[in-house]
Amino acid sequence: MRIFTVLGIIFYAAITITIGIALIAFSLNLLQPQNINDFLAYVRAYPNSRIIVGLLGLLFILVSFSFAQLILGRFQREKTIAFMTSSGQVTIALSAVEDLIRRISHHMPEIKELRPDVIATKKGIMADLRVVLRSESNIPELTARLQDLTRTKIQEVLGIEEEIVIKIHVAKIISAEEKEKKRKEAERLEQPTVPFSGYGRV
Amino acid sequence: MTHRDESRTDLGTIKIHKKVIASIASLAALEIEGVKSVGGDFKSGLLELIGKKSLSAIKVEIGANEDVRVDMPLVIKYGYNIPEVANKVQESVRNSLEKMTNLSIKDININVQAIERG
């Protein structure tokens, strides 16, 4: 772990602990509102202390921005599959692999909805698929077919030989009745309503 | 950071703006079968929404030795082999840039951002 990361973690831990201690002290009545007031009045009374507090605030903001950028940058870097060619580097965003898996599901009418989550590890690629199925489908046969198709397609499109693990989680099965109910509901909402149609002439 | 690549002739200097390099790279990439578009990141998506071309998505860096490094995000069409398409794009961009600008190309880094959504 780099020194900057360690410093950032210590900084955040220190701030969080200080706020925590202050809140506990306040709830235990060890810290009086008067103490806070005195401190703020002291800071406000002297121009130098006000400048110091302002600069401290600015420093906190800068440190927090750079730390956030560091974390986000690291997450972004990890979210790609990279390989080198003679002309340079090729990186493939994992979201592109997720797009690919979504497209595969379009070829299977039994799948109502599919939400993929792809992770790249040192061992290979791990894809977690959360699916919503239609009731008429045979789940073991369908999931096996989906796993096989996804694996083949990823290997074919990405040209990788690492291990590909496909996990499927069937989140919901939509019945034909439910589908019919939803269709009727949608039709009902689409029908235009005449305003004041319920009133009769007196 | 250098904004333009500059070369000197007997009659004066020739400056090639980074945007020109990005434009050549973009056109060369779009010639390859399997490439849907150049861009695909959040910023270029926003620019496309307001009808602007996503040339800003292509990053061009010119080093001290006048060697060029190009980073380009791509959206690939469904059903194509990504490494194969990326390789063809790198070759096409290199050839086009060398032919049109006489620059020495160091790296062409491809970043596949998405697969065309159906």
pLDDT band at A13 (very low <50, low <70, confident <90, very high): confident
Average pLDDT of span A154-180: 82
Is residue A197, in this structure, part of any structural domain at all?
Answer: no
Is residue B107, in this structure, part of any structural domain at all?
Answer: yes
- Residue A44 belongs to what domain range? 3-78
Q: Is the model more confident about B41 or about A98?
A: A98
**Domains held by chain A: number:** 2
Is residue B22, in this structure, part of any structural domain at all?
Answer: yes
Q: How many alpha carbons lie under 13 Å from residue A79 in its C-beta half-sphere? A: 17
CA B30-B33-B39 angle, to 5 degrees, is: 40
Is A33 buried (19+), middle (13-18) or exposed (0-12) by CB count in 10 A?
A: exposed
CATH of the domain at A111: 3.30.70.1350
Average pLDDT, chain A: 82
Position of tokens 């690549």?
Answer: B5
Based on the domain organization, do A68 and A102 belong to the same domain? no
- Residue B105 belongs to what domain range? 18-115
Query: Can you give the pLDDT at residue A199?
Result: 64
Is residue A185, in this structure, part of any structural domain at all?
Answer: no
Is residue B54, in this structure, part of any structural domain at all?
Answer: yes
**Percent over 70 (pLDDT), chain A:** 84
Domain boundary among A24, A55, A78: A78
Is residue B23, in this structure, part of any structural domain at all?
Answer: yes
Is residue A7, in this structure, part of any structural domain at all?
Answer: yes
Contact B54, B47 (CB under 8 A): yes
The shortest C-alpha distance from A139 to chain B (Å) reads: 25
Is residue A66, in this structure, part of any structural domain at all?
Answer: yes
* Run of H or E including B73: strand B67-76
pLDDT band at A68 (very low <50, low <70, confident <90, very high): confident
A88, A96, A156: residue with CB nearest B107: A88
Which one, of A113, A67, A76, A71, lies nearest residue A94 by Cα? A76
Position of tokens 């090639």?
Answer: B16
The shortest C-alpha distance from B19 to chain A (Å) reads: 20
CA A158-A77-A7 angle, to 5 degrees, is: 160
Which neighbouring-strand residues pair with A81? A92
Distances (CA, A) of A183 to A23, A177, A190, B98: 53, 10, 11, 59
Domain boundary among A16, A47, A78: A78
Is residue B70, in this structure, part of any structural domain at all?
Answer: yes
- Interchain CB contact of A85 with B (< 8 Å): yes
pLDDT band at A134 (very low <50, low <70, confident <90, very high): confident
Is residue A134, in this structure, part of any structural domain at all?
Answer: yes
Which neighbouring-strand residues pair with A127? A118, A166
Distances (CA, A) of B94 to A104, B17, B23, B27: 33, 17, 13, 12
- B1: pLDDT strictly greater than 50: no
Within 8 A of A100 by CB-CB distance, chain B residues are: 78, 115
Output the CA torsion A11→A12→A13→A19 (10° steps). 110
Nearest C-alpha in B relative to A96: B114
Based on the domain organization, do A71 and A115 belong to the same domain? no
**Domains held by chain B: number:** 1
Per-residue tokens: B48: 């496309």
- A12: pLDDT strictly greater than 70: yes
Which one, of A112, A118, A128, A124, lies nearest residue A178 by Cα? A112
Query: Can you give the pLDDT at residue A31?
Result: 83
CA A144-A145-A148 angle, to 5 degrees, is: 85
Q: Show the beta-strand stretches assigned E in chain A.
A: 80-85, 88-93, 111-120, 124-134, 163-174
Which one, of A92, A105, A125, A122, lies nearest residue B82 by Cα? A92
Q: Is the model more confident about A120 or about A137?
A: A120
Distances (CA, A) of A70 to A63, A73, B41: 10, 5, 19
Is residue B69, in this structure, part of any structural domain at all?
Answer: yes
Nearest C-alpha in A relative to B95: A87
Q: Give phi and psi for A111, each to the nearest 5.
A: -90, 120
Based on the domain organization, do A74 and A109 belong to the same domain? no
CATH of the domain at B50: 3.30.70.1350
Selected for mutation to probe chain B from A84, A114, A157, A161 (highest B CB count within 10 Å) is: A157
Based on the domain organization, do A94 and A171 belong to the same domain? yes
Query: Can you give the pLDDT at residue B2?
Result: 47
Q: How many alpha carbons lie under 13 Å from residue B75 in its C-beta half-sphere? A: 17
Query: pTM for this one?
Result: 0.62
Distances (CA, A) of A165 to A31, A101, A120: 55, 13, 10
Domain boundary among A32, A55, A78: A78
Is residue B83, in this structure, part of any structural domain at all?
Answer: yes
3-class secondary structure, B77: coil
Based on the domain organization, do A67 and A103 belong to the same domain? no
* Residue B87 DSSP symbol: H
Is residue B4, in this structure, part of any structural domain at all?
Answer: no
- What is the tens place of the pLDDT at every residue in B78-89? 889 999 999 999
